[in-house]
Amino acid sequence: MMASMADTPKARTDSFSRDPVCGKPVDPNRTAQGYVHGDRVYYFCSTGCLRRFIAEPEAFAAETPTPPSDPPSRG
Ligand SMILES: [Zn+2]
């Protein structure tokens, strides 16, 4: 068995993107469903999620939704 050298280094991003619609982690390097909204690009696991996002970008573009009730931090 020949010692094969490492394959061509893939320029993969260090941070995974998350599907803002369903919340699934998506790999921007492998997924083709990308959509530019505002100042960033969103990736989706499927065209279905992409279409939902395009329908209401602002509904999903928001970052991690903050919980309605935040526990009082004592300090
Ligand atoms: Zn999805």
- Residue 47 and residue 33 in contact, taking contact as beta carbons nearer than 8 Å: yes
Q: How many CB atoms lie within 10 A of CB 21?
A: 20
| Residue 32 pLDDT | 62
pLDDT above 50 for 13: no
Task: Measure 44 CA to ligand 1 centroid, in angstroms.
Answer: 5
Q: What residue spans define the domains of the chain?
A: 17-61
* 2 CA → ligand 1 middle, Å: 41
1 CA → ligand 1 middle, Å: 41
75 Cα to the center of ligand 1, angstroms: 39
Which pLDDT score, from 0 to 100, does residue 2 have? 57
The answer to whether residue 14 scores a pLDDT higher than 50 is: no
Say yes or no to pLDDT of 75 above 70.
no
pLDDT in tens, 25-69: 998 888 668 999 988 889 999 999 999 999 999 898 876 555 566
